[in-house]
Amino acid sequence: MSLYPDSSQRREWVLTPTQLAQRRSNGASRYAQEILLSNPAVLPTDIMTDHEQYQLFSYYQRRISEYGSAFSLPIGVVGTAVVFFKRFYLNRTVMDEDPRLIAVSALLLATKAEEAHIRVSDLAKTTAISTELLLKFEQILLDGISFHLKVHTPFRAVQGLVNLIPDLSKSEMKNRIELADIEVMNALYTDAIFLYTPSQIALACVERTASNLSSPAPGKDIFSMVLERSQNREDADKLKAIVKTINEIIDESVNSSSKGDLDEFRKLKNKRDQCRNLFRDPTSDLY
């Protein structure tokens, strides 16, 4: 089994806020250079704003869950797909490769990485994407994430933490895990997976679940237990601050998320299509 400290995720995909911003800035700069050559008719005013790009990106990363539900895929598979999607666009803009095709390809790739296979033809039919195009974009996705297929999501750590909570029945334990898994998905929709370890995110989600329950919250106890196990008070304070920050990130995302108006989404999609990078569009002669 691949251990997180030695993983490609730890080496390549955990960044500082400055590094995260720089990668996105590099992707935006490359797009700005390529659009002048691939589609010179596009004016600066035609290009999507950062906020518009974020709206479209957010829409499609959440659509992955809907695609997964259509095949009753485990939440861990969906979480891996979301991470693939986020990694891909860390160095690109949604005006480069089509985010809808990348989202569906991310789910396909995640089913293979997590050994929850579905038929490509079934996914193609459900999403109205040709099998040929889906497989082509799967390869594009693989290249974009540097073939790093092992994703350490917080789901397993959540199970480990909940299993440590004393005096829980099997049904209570199952309920706690399911609630915490929902919070993990909320976290995966944010930048938390690029900034913190899976275990830190899991701890925040277990604590978050406990604080939302009307019954006594042993999740708080497990949080205290983890802090008490740290022999260094400075490390304990640091972990407490990290968990607080993760919860703030999740809160901000949950409070700001909405499915939005369908007409508004269509406008964003049309704008994206008008200013797309033809160098990265397989249907273009410039590809």
- What tens digit of pLDDT does each residue of 236-284 get? 788 889 999 999 999 999 888 765 678 889 999 999 999 999 999 988 8
Query: Cα–Cα distances in Å, from 254 out to 34, 154, 247?
Result: 35, 18, 10
Highest mean pLDDT among 10-19, 76-85, 224-233: 76-85
Q: What percent of the chain has pLDDT over 90?
A: 75
User: Could you give the CA distance from residue 135 to residue 180 in angstroms, rounded to a whole number?
Assistant: 33
Cβ atoms of residues 104 and 70 within 8 Å: no
Whether the CB-CB separation of 68 and 81 falls below 8 Å is answered with: yes
CA dihedral 142, 133, 64, 35 (to 10 degrees): 70
| Whole-number CA gyration radius for the chain | 20
Per-residue pLDDT band at 219 (split at 50, 70, 90): very low
Q: Are 284 and 85 in contact (CB under 8 A)?
A: no
Assign 190 to helix, strand or coil.
coil
Our CA angle for 158, 164, 165, nearest 5°, is 95
Question: Which residues contact residue 115 at a Cβ distance below 8 angstroms, ignoring those fewer than 6 apart?
Answer: none
Q: Do the Cβ atoms of 78 and 86 come closer than 8 Å?
A: no
Q: Does domain 4-151+259-280 have CATH number 3.40.220.10?
A: no
How crowded is residue 189: how many other Cβ atoms within 10 Å of its Cβ? 20
Dist. CA 10–CA 25, nearest whole Å: 22
pLDDT at 256: 80
- Residues comprising the chain, all counted: 287
Fold of 155-256: Cyclin A; domain 1 (1.10.472)
Cα–Cα distance, 241 to 210 (Å, whole number): 18
Average pLDDT (15-20) is: 97
CA angle 272, 276, 282 (to 5 degrees): 125
CATH 1.10.472.10 domain span(s) along the chain: 4-151+259-280, 155-256
Which sign does the torsion angle of CA 219, 220, 225, 231 carry?
positive
Distance from C-alpha of 145 to C-alpha of 148, rounded to nearest angstrom: 6
